Structure 1
Amino acid sequence: MDTFAQIFGNDQYPPSVDWRQINTENFQLIYPSAFEDRAQKMASDLELLRLRVSQTLGKKPRKISIVLQNQTVESNGNVQLAPRRSEFYTTPPQQSDFQDWLNNLAIHELRHVVQFDKLTGYLRAPFFEQLALAIYGVTLPAWFFEGDAVLTETKLSNAGRGRLPSWEMPFRTNLLYGKKYGYQKDYLGSLRDVTPGFYELGYFMTLQLESEHDPAIIDSLMSRMAKLPIRPYNFSNSLKKFTGYTTRQWHEKTREALAQKWKEQLAELTPIDYTEFPNRQSSRPESWLLPQALPDGRLIALHQSVYNVPAIVILDSVSRQQTVVKTGRQTEPNFAYAAGKIVWDELRRHGRYGKRTYNVINLYDLNTQSYKQLTHRSRYFSPALRPDGRQLAAVAVEEDNTVSLVLLDSQTGRLVSRFPSPKNIMLQTPAFDESGSRVIATAISQQGAAIVELDIPTAAYRFLLEWQSQQIERPIYTDGKVVFKAHYHGIDNLYELNAETGTVTQLTHARYGAFNPSFDQASGHIWFNNYQVDGYRISHVKPENSQASHFKPPTRLENTLPHNDTVQIETRPSTPYSGLKKLINFHSLSVDNGNFENIGQINPGIYWLSDDLLNTAQIRLGYIYDGDIRSSEYLASVNYQRFFPKFSLEYRNRGQVSAARVNFPGGDQQVIGLRWRENAATVRMNVPLVFYRLNHVFTTGLSAATSYTRRYDLSEPQFRDRFIDRIDFPMHYQFYFNHNVRQSLLDLAPRWGQHLSITYRHFPFDGRIAGEHLALRTAFYFPGIWRNHSLLARFNYQQGNGNYRMVNDIPMVSGYDQLRPVPVDNTLLVSYRFPIAYPDWAVGPLAYIKRFKGGFFADFQNVRSGNDLSPRTFGFEFRSDMNLLRYYLPNFDIGVKLVYANEAGTSKRVFATYGIAYSY
């Protein structure tokens, strides 16, 4: 669950969704009509959970709107202000803890609601929600508010991520391996090493607070901060007051306590260091997931690396690696092999409406080396091939969270059979037996995790392993028994279940964690992932050779809280939710326009912001003072994004300045400054589209815009006869098409990419004004000499006449504003960029530098056949990726470009330009 998710996103839901709402005393639930039954249950659950999650902070949150988002196949959630709402992504994941997904999600996200109101609850709509969000984000470090939420989800259930050894494993492995990183590296992450991340770090630092002090310390911290929210270094100051430690010191204390605890835990076990495969190939994190044996003895696995995008690869006995196919985004890493075929699922999104996503099944035939997307607009997960390769099984989760196992034809993707899950329990990662007549899967409910088996001929389910307080993953058949991953002894390992006797045998004794078993019938080996400090390696074990320990698995403990299915469900009135009636929702006064995606588009002023709860409409009322011309500007804008095209309407009343040249008798000339005001109204239509295919991303779209401008209050009336007092509906069109391959973590740009944009402007409705302008912008990305290097070539062309004769609408050469002005017909901009170092340097509390990078560039202007092809400017740039002031977001890219002007007559032949960019 991610509170950063979509705070700055602006995707829409399809207009076909029929929205309804339930209003309780403390919640407004907004949900699609297909989710009616579960929404009624959620309304009861939320009222109960609200009291529990707020108890330790002494603050009952005020009413909030919750959108139950069932249009996506991803599993996530967020809480935000400006506007005040929470979004629950209702589709359960294929890898989770051992409880009902929505129960866990509700506890976690409601804790964030309590945190918001505890710290800034007195700042409310219609004027101060953005201010409250800013105080929350600036005051609380991300590790604290997420760590507190994970701690709450763990305390208020019998599951939660705090109980999962797999979740703490990267941090535990680092410390046991002797890699004790500093506070900023553990918190803000690294591009060269595995670090715990702020969720895991935050959980343990918050848990340490409650363990050494009283659980009420969280309330004390936030109460003190809320009394004086503008106190410098408010959190660190308060933490030191109550504990005597700074944030950095508390991290060190927590780290040392955990290292001692995990060393003692490991001493009580007898870990085995298994042979690892393949050999270490780089100094960066690298993993080979889900290893499976091929008939010829080679292994097939899903390769993940910071250097490369994920790919399914084949490994031979000497660690040579052959890439089979590069994959696209997945909700969880998975693939399956049988009979010369590979299947895996991938995420897709609706071309226009980003809130609707799908999970499709792909197939690759090793014999014909051909790829096929089997399903389209589907919601299928974790496919597994039948041994003969003719059919596959997958988990289907419908929009109302109805769960089934389905059989699909592996040639056509056609649905063959559907087997509804018993009592609609969640199913995960199915696998066939050797005969292809039975399927095994993990089952998840509020009672815990279990293993179930489907007998296909009779369509009957049975439990092979009853409910456990365990994270049970990827059960498989092995010679009449079942092997699965669990953590009965505190570390993730593989266990073997004898379904007849109910006896469980521990098969592996991995030092850090064992996962993803697969059975090789020919050799009798069980291949598995053996976690190491730099990623997942491959190991194997034979059941008869393992140091086995037999035991009866413990029965499921009684919940300290009632099961969700025992909560009294009150059927509440459900009414249609009309988005049209809720379009106007003013929530904040702001000093910016709410556009955080591009620093160049932030226009300081005073704005009143309105955003509806479904990302359909945005309204902005604003005032700006332009100090350069000493003039005020007033604006009002509306964006409406429900339909296939997006529409926007904007009105501005603003001052303008220009100059006119006056000819006097005798040939004298004088330049006179002109000032006026104008009313300008602009309407735009935009159709943005996004498509995916494997590791390729395609974006395309078109837009059209027109405006009407009326000018008045000319400062020099003698120029009225030459003054254009209105501009009637000039037209502006744009078409663009972009194709990029997916980037790895260390790539500075796509290895391959092609971008094309064409714009055209003219005056078809105003006979008093003439002119047209055509602009072509292109960009081509190529791989560099070494990995993660990038070569970019951009050719741009423009042609204008009339009133557009002097307009520049293409990228200019570097340092253009410091060169002598000349008309620009085209530019060719070539740059080569490369990483230099990954220092992970903490410059005190000011900056944490993750990467240095450099580049060379040569910029050409007005390239023509026969002309001198020397660049107009060229030079070198040096940049760095960093976090500032210990904030997790945004990520900053700051640098300097040294430009050499390759022409005579410039005031400076060498000069520097500086740049800053950021991303979320």
Structure 2
Amino acid sequence: MAAGFAQQAGAQQFGGNPPSLRWQQINTDTVRVIFPRGMEAYGRRVADITGYVSRYHRATIGPLQRKVNIVLQNQTLQSNGYVQLGPFRSEFFMTPPPSSNDVGSLNWADQLALHEYRHVLQNSNFRKGISKVVFYLSGELGQAAATNIAVPNWFWEGDAVVTETALSNQGRGRLPAFFNGFRALQLAGRPYTYMQLRNGSYRRYMPDHYATGYLMTSYGRLQYGPQFWNGVTDDAVRYRRVFYPFSQSLKHRTGKNAAGFFRAALGSYAQHWPAATEQAADTLTPVGKHYTDYKYVYAAGNGRLIVSKSSFKAIPAFYEIGPDGKESRITAPGLGFDDYFSYRNGQLLWTESRYSPRWGWKDYSIVKIHDRASGQTRSLRHERRCFSPDLSADGRKVAVVAVTPEQAYRVEILDAQSGAVLQSLPNPENWYYTYPKFAAGDRLMISAVRDKAGRMGLISQSVETGESKVLVPFGVPTIGIASVEGNAVYFTAAFGDADNVYRVTLDDNTLQQVTRRPNGVQHMAVTDGGIIYSEFTASGHKLLKSPLQPVASQPRHSAWLRPDFGEGGDILDKVPARDYEVRKYPKAHRLFNFHSWLPRIDDPDYGLYLYGENVLGTLQTAVGASYNINENSPEVGASVLYGAWFPYLRAGVDYRMQRKLRVNDTISLEWNELDWYAGFSVPLNFTAGKYFRSVSLGANFHHLTRARTASSKYRFRDDNIQYVDAAFTFSNQRIRAVQNIYSHFAQSLVLRYNKTVNNVPGEQFTGRLDLYLPGFSANHSLVLQGAYQQRDTMLRYAFTDHFVYARGYEKPFYEHIYKAGANYHFPICYPDWGFANLLYFMRLRGNVFYDHSVAYNFRSRKDVTYASAGGELFFDTKLGNVLPFSFGVRYSRLFDTDPVDPARSNRFEVIVPLQQLFAY
């Protein structure tokens, strides 16, 4: 997300780019920057910055540097970046975030280079001691596991945020809004524990590990010197103290463990934050412990307000708040890259995301307009790369910020009916516009802009001539969303210790401060009785109202917003521009890029495989062995998956040993088989509006030879089999709130069909449908399940069994079987409690179920019923303060005879979905 950059593995999209992209490269001794044609300037800049940092600014994390591949993605509107091991690479998503409040206004490529390359240096220098041994035994993902256990996630990101702050004139460490979370908790008197902040909560707001990490890593640098964390992390990744190596190293070096160090860091910053409000204000929305966000606000006349509202229990939606405080829901937006909306003359406007069905890195936005009078919502038909729509006063035009794949920025004015581009405002400096607003009878465009150096200013631009006038001079502080009222422009800005509202006049550029609040103000609306604004609190953004009058300006304190980390300050204007050779990047470069040994847990199959993947994410390979617990059958195999074309293409070979088939209730057959296969699949993404929606279809052709084992009494007459394995999956899931256990409306359908194509009869069909419906309360879910499986009765070949049987029973003997199930899931409590930094309990939830299954025994020619009911108790936890992990216990009451243990009527089971731990 725009508020942070991903460091962990798994952020990549396999086969996400269309084959039409032409990739270029700049190859240095430090990095190989890979980018689409047309992005050469950005490739050069990233190579320049990373090379400079590698030469002069890696001592604070360690002396080692390993060459890394950095891929610049320009087809997506996501604003993010990540570094991963397995394989070792980084990707930058080049579209800047629409808002400057969360991550700042630095040149986006510069900020990504500073932040993400710090992760590269972290990974390069953490291959030491035990972590290095694990790397040699398990590969890059083994190193990732060892170092992420040893080094807490807050350090990875906090240290990178310190780097972007130390080596630039801004960075998140100099943004008042970056501290909103901790300041809000301090103002509310909520001293959460270190474990609570590490793990988060389903019911209370907790600052994330970026903010926590910056507080702790910056405090360590400022108190103990630039080399402090080098020593701590060296101890940790070597596991010099086996248990809690990071915390123990802190204790050894400072006398404080991690929890004590956090308290000291928070106290160091909190002394600079005011303990009470500095300006009187009336609170218009409820304030309590339950998190609810009122983030954007507009005046609708007669004391009415239009707001966006979300909570841990409910998805974001637009509401009207009446003069009496009563709230009425208007409509809800769909998924988007930005949560901003605008309002004028009864029309609400926002953008929603649209995706290429096949290519995961190719996406767009569409403008949505909701008319309150008619209650209808319509879409401007043209898909485009845009943000932040605003409607003109006459209702005929819509202004949007448009971004090209080559990172050219402009304001486009669209026809409000057709979506056609009427005009593009000139932008010779390639400023990045944020939140443009029509003004002066639609003759002016007001917008905060960022220049190439990362400074922000507020401008007015003539719609007729394109001429620009600077209203607020360019500077380092960030500027937020503007609102035009007559001859004045109101806007939020970080000119002091917190984001507040300011006013500038259009005729003489007189600047005044309007609010003086102790924490960040997000958005504002001018009303007859004053100014209403959203301020961040420990319970989310709340609406406050103050008189509309100037207040004394708030100074910025250097103690916590102008840190000196001993790195020499801003390097971005010092980095020399080198003359690199730009060459074509061959897509076949290191296709078989083996990087890690990793467990594969896909119940009922458990195995260990050697994985490979190329840098562009178009070829995945795996070689290894597994064991099927349903059939007690070991297996060795190898596979390759190619994802650069429209269908995925796959091929592989598996050798399965000691496979078993029950011929009847007492006799079984055992054999070994060699399976060569090739096939295709087409994964499609139709996500739109409020629904995540995907479809996948594919098929494989198998050529299989088999032979009975020495222990089998029966000889095969069919030792050569050819068959087709086809599958279809469909998933449709409505977006859900934080506390919702499952989506209030979702469907999942899986169909599998296996059929022999030579003269050996063999057939199997499996289908499963899951329906998710709302329960009696917002966080309850009713889940209905239906499953069916049929196989031929000749039993000359048995396909892999994917059926999920009635809970509590063993696998019966059958020709066809169906199961219908009902589940009712509900939360019980939210403990927000853990022990020893090992296991943290976030939620306790229950499920009551009923399964009804009927199997047709073709030998006895009878339908046999297997019905059960019971309950499940689940614990949603985090392991080691990082890894989400759910486990539970199940009680099943069997109403019919179990096929394996007829005396059993009650069964207790522990539910441990191990694929959570080892998913690749």
* Structure 1 residue 552: Cα displacement: 14
Instruction: Label 1:684 to 1:845 Cα distance change in 2 as closer, same or farther (>3 A).
Output: same
Q: Counterparts in 2 of 1:468-479, with a 5 A limit?
A: 468-479=475-486
Instruction: Label 1:43 to 1:897 Cα distance change in 2 as closer, same or farther (>3 A).
Output: same
Instruction: Label 1:629 to 1:798 Cα distance change in 2 as closer, same or farther (>3 A).
Output: closer
Give the Cα separation in 2 of the matches to 1:777 and 1:313: 39
Q: Is the 8 A contact 1:347 1:358 kept in 2?
A: yes
Instruction: Label 1:492 to 1:429 Cα distance change in 2 as closer, same or farther (>3 A).
Output: same
In structure 1, the residue matched to 2:320 is 314
* Structure 1 residue 505: Cα displacement: 1.4
Matched, 1:81 2:70: no
TM-score by length of 2: 0.90
SS at match of 2:248: helix
SS at match of 1:862: strand
In structure 1, the residue matched to 2:639 is 637
* Structure 1 residue 675: Cα displacement: 5.4
Give the Cα separation in 2 of the matches to 1:635 and 1:77: 34
Matched, 1:907 2:903: yes
Matched, 1:647 2:649: yes
* 2:385 alignment partner, one of 354, 379, 389: 379
In structure 1, the residue matched to 2:225 is 214
SS at match of 1:43: helix
Q: Is the 8 A contact 1:502 1:552 kept in 2?
A: no
Instruction: Label 1:218 to 1:717 Cα distance change in 2 as closer, same or farther (>3 A).
Output: closer
SS at match of 2:83: strand
In structure 2, the residue matched to 1:916 is 912
In structure 1, the residue matched to 2:859 is none
Q: Is the 8 A contact 1:695 1:741 kept in 2?
A: yes
Give the Cα separation in 2 of the matches to 1:145 and 1:863: 53
Structure 1's unaligned 5+ residue stretches are 663-668
Instruction: Label 1:553 to 1:417 Cα distance change in 2 as closer, same or farther (>3 A).
Output: farther
In structure 2, the residue matched to 1:50 is 54
Q: Is the 8 A contact 1:274 1:510 kept in 2?
A: no
Instruction: Label 1:346 to 1:53 Cα distance change in 2 as closer, same or farther (>3 A).
Output: farther
Q: Deviations over 1:791-842 (max 9, x none)?
A: 111122333323469876443211121x865665311100111111111011
Q: Deviations over 1:685-721 (max 9, x none)?
A: 111111123212221221112211112474269844x
Instruction: Label 1:812 to 1:61 Cα distance change in 2 as closer, same or farther (>3 A).
Output: same
Matched, 1:21 2:25: yes
* 1:796 alignment partner, one of 787, 790, 799: 787
* 1:854 alignment partner, one of 846, 850, 871: 846
* 1:682 alignment partner, one of 677, 695, 701: 677
In structure 2, the residue matched to 1:66 is 70
* 1:396 alignment partner, one of 392, 402, 406: 402
Q: Deviations over 1:268-324 (max 9, x none)?
A: xx61241122334x7420011211012454211111111111112222123322222
* 1:253 alignment partner, one of 224, 246, 264: 264
Give the Cα separation in 1 of the matches to 2:532 and 2:408: 33
* Structure 1 residue 354: Cα displacement: 1.3
TM-score by length of 1: 0.90
Give the Cα separation in 1 of the matches to 2:607 and 2:688: 40
Q: Is the 8 A contact 2:392 2:398 kept in 1?
A: yes
Q: Which amino acid aligns with 1:698?
A: R
In structure 2, the residue matched to 1:666 is none
Instruction: Label 1:894 to 1:660 Cα distance change in 2 as closer, same or farther (>3 A).
Output: closer
Instruction: Label 1:424 to 1:67 Cα distance change in 2 as closer, same or farther (>3 A).
Output: same
Q: Is the 8 A contact 2:313 2:778 kept in 1?
A: yes
SS at match of 2:357: coil
* Structure 1 residue 540: Cα displacement: 3.1
Give the Cα separation in 1 of the matches to 2:634 and 2:602: 22
Q: Deviations over 1:606-635 (max 9, x none)?
A: x33221011100111224578999986432
Instruction: Label 1:540 to 1:601 Cα distance change in 2 as closer, same or farther (>3 A).
Output: farther
Q: Which amino acid aligns with 1:883?
A: K
Give the Cα separation in 2 of the matches to 1:215 and 1:327: 46
Q: Counterparts in 2 of 1:688-837, with a 5 A limit?
A: 688-712=683-707, 714-715=709-710, 719-720=714-715, 722-728=716-722, 730-763=723-756, 765-767=757-759, 769-803=760-794, 809-817=802-810, 824-837=816-829
* 1:508 alignment partner, one of 508, 512, 515: 515
* 1:182 alignment partner, one of 193, 205, 208: 193
Give the Cα separation in 2 of the matches to 1:772 and 1:915: 32
SS at match of 2:617: coil
* Structure 1 residue 370: Cα displacement: 1.6
* Structure 1 residue 676: Cα displacement: 4.4
Report % sequence identity. 27
Q: Which amino acid aligns with 2:494?
A: H
Instruction: Label 1:113 to 1:229 Cα distance change in 2 as closer, same or farther (>3 A).
Output: farther
* Structure 1 residue 394: Cα displacement: 0.9
Matched, 1:431 2:437: yes
Q: Deviations over 1:42-79 (max 9, x none)?
A: 22232223334413224242211100111110111111
In structure 2, the residue matched to 1:369 is 375
Q: Is the 8 A contact 1:754 1:780 kept in 2?
A: yes
Q: Is the 8 A contact 2:618 2:642 kept in 1?
A: yes
* 2:541 alignment partner, one of 515, 536, 539: 536
Q: Is the 8 A contact 1:473 1:484 kept in 2?
A: yes
SS at match of 1:603: strand
In structure 2, the residue matched to 1:611 is 613
Give the Cα separation in 2 of the matches to 1:624 and 1:307: 41
Q: Counterparts in 2 of 1:175-574, with a 5 A limit?
A: 175-228=186-239, 231-262=242-273, 265-266=274-275, 271-280=278-287, 283-445=289-451, 446-498=453-505, 500-520=507-527, 523=528, 525-544=530-549, 546-549=550-553, 564=572, 567-574=575-582
Give the Cα separation in 2 of the matches to 1:170 and 1:884: 24
Q: Is the 8 A contact 2:59 2:227 kept in 1?
A: no
Give the Cα separation in 2 of the matches to 1:69 and 1:601: 37
Q: Deviations over 1:72-99 (max 9, x none)?
A: 1011111111111111111111113132
- With 489-498 and 828-837 compared, the bigger mean Cα shift is at 489-498
Paired residues in the alignment total 889
SS at match of 1:55: coil
Q: Is the 8 A contact 1:176 1:259 kept in 2?
A: no
Q: Which amino acid aligns with 1:896?
A: V
Q: Is the 8 A contact 1:135 1:229 kept in 2?
A: no
4+ residue runs over 6 A deviation: 121-127, 550-554, 556-560, 625-632, 659-662, 804-807, 867-871
* Structure 1 residue 561: Cα displacement: 5.5
Instruction: Label 1:236 to 1:469 Cα distance change in 2 as closer, same or farther (>3 A).
Output: same
* Structure 1 residue 338: Cα displacement: 1.5
Instruction: Label 1:628 to 1:395 Cα distance change in 2 as closer, same or farther (>3 A).
Output: closer
Q: Is the 8 A contact 1:286 1:305 kept in 2?
A: yes
Give the Cα separation in 2 of the matches to 1:563 and 1:475: 31
Give the Cα separation in 1 of the matches to 2:663 and 2:38: 68
Give the Cα separation in 1 of the matches to 2:630 and 2:282: 69
Q: Is the 8 A contact 1:469 1:557 kept in 2?
A: no
Give the Cα separation in 1 of the matches to 2:79 and 2:491: 23
Q: Is the 8 A contact 2:806 2:866 kept in 1?
A: no
Q: Which amino acid aligns with 2:397?
A: Q
Instruction: Label 1:401 to 1:660 Cα distance change in 2 as closer, same or farther (>3 A).
Output: closer
Give the Cα separation in 2 of the matches to 1:210 and 1:581: 41
Q: Which amino acid aligns with 1:570?
A: R
* Structure 1 residue 225: Cα displacement: 3.4
Q: Is the 8 A contact 1:465 1:499 kept in 2?
A: no
Q: Is the 8 A contact 2:50 2:113 kept in 1?
A: yes
Q: Which amino acid aligns with 1:794?
A: Q
Matched, 1:893 2:889: no
Structure 2's unaligned 5+ residue stretches are 857-861
Q: Which amino acid aligns with 2:393?
A: P
Instruction: Label 1:138 to 1:392 Cα distance change in 2 as closer, same or farther (>3 A).
Output: same
